[in-house]
Amino acid sequence: MEPSTSCPAAAPLVKRPFHVLVGVTGSVAALKLPLLVSRLLDIPGMWKCRSDPVLHIDLRRWADLMLVAPLDANTLGKVASGICDNLLTCVIRAWDCRKPLLFCPAMNTVMWEHPITAQQVGQLKAFGYVEIPCVAKKLVCGDQGLGAMAEVGTIVDKVKEVLFWHGDSQES
C-alpha cells in the first residue's frame, strides 16, 4: 500500500508520502494482524492500494518505516545473526538503518526469559531498531507472564509517534 497524497478527512501526519512495511513472523500473535492493519489503515491520509509485485530490495526502497509485528523467537535469532533465508529476513537484512524499523517481540514466557533473548534484542537495538516491548498476560499456550505482543493500540501509537518524529527530522 502507498500513502495517498491527500485525504479529505484529515491532514496527513507527515508532509510527504510515507510508506510503512509490516513484517509478520510465525508467532501465534500474528492472529492480531488483521486488527493491527485495520487500525494502521485508520491513520488519516496515509494509504492507498499498491498492486505491483516487489522483491526485498524494492520493498526496502519503497518503505520509509518497517514494522515487524509479531517478531517470534526464531526470526529474532535470524535477524540478530544476520540470517536472511526468506523475504522478511531479506528485507530486514537489506534495510537502510537510517530509516526506522520497529519490532514487537512475541513468544512464550520461558523463551522470552531465556538469556539469549535479551542478547538478541540488544543486538537489534544496537542496529538502531526500536523495540515495542512485549506485555504480561495469559498466553495462548495457557502460561501467564511476559511474552505477549504489545497491544495493537500501543503499536499504532508508537508508529504514529515515529512517523511524526521522522517526518519532522526529514524536513530539517
The Cα–Cα gap between 135 and 3 comes to: 30
Query: Would you say residue 72 lies in a domain?
Result: yes
Strands 20-23, 65-71: pairing kind: parallel
Query: Would you say residue 9 lies in a domain?
Result: no
Question: Where in the sequence is the domain holding 69, given as residue range(s)?
Answer: 20-166
Query: Would you say residue 87 lies in a domain?
Result: yes
The Cα–Cα gap between 7 and 92 comes to: 30
Is the pLDDT at 50 greater than 60? The verdict is no
Q: Which of 111, 101, 41 is nearest to 69 (CA)?
A: 101
Is the pLDDT at 115 greater than 70? The verdict is yes
Query: In the chain, how many domains are there?
Result: 1
- Please indicate whether residue 29 or residue 10 has the higher confidence score (pLDDT): 29
Is the pLDDT at 66 greater than 90? The verdict is yes
Query: Would you say residue 78 lies in a domain?
Result: yes
Q: What is the pLDDT of residue 51?
A: 53
Query: What are the residue numbers of the active site?
Result: 141
| CATH number of the domain that residue 28 is part of | 3.40.50.1950
Is the pLDDT at 54 greater than 90? The verdict is no
Query: Would you say residue 157 lies in a domain?
Result: yes
Query: Would you say residue 82 lies in a domain?
Result: yes
Is the pLDDT at 6 greater than 50? The verdict is no
Q: Note the pTM of the prediction, 2 decimals.
A: 0.71
pLDDT single digits (tens) 127-167: 999 999 999 999 988 999 999 999 999 999 999 999 888 76
Is the pLDDT at 97 greater than 80? The verdict is yes
Is the pLDDT at 16 greater than 70? The verdict is no
Query: Would you say residue 10 lies in a domain?
Result: no
Query: Would you say residue 15 lies in a domain?
Result: no
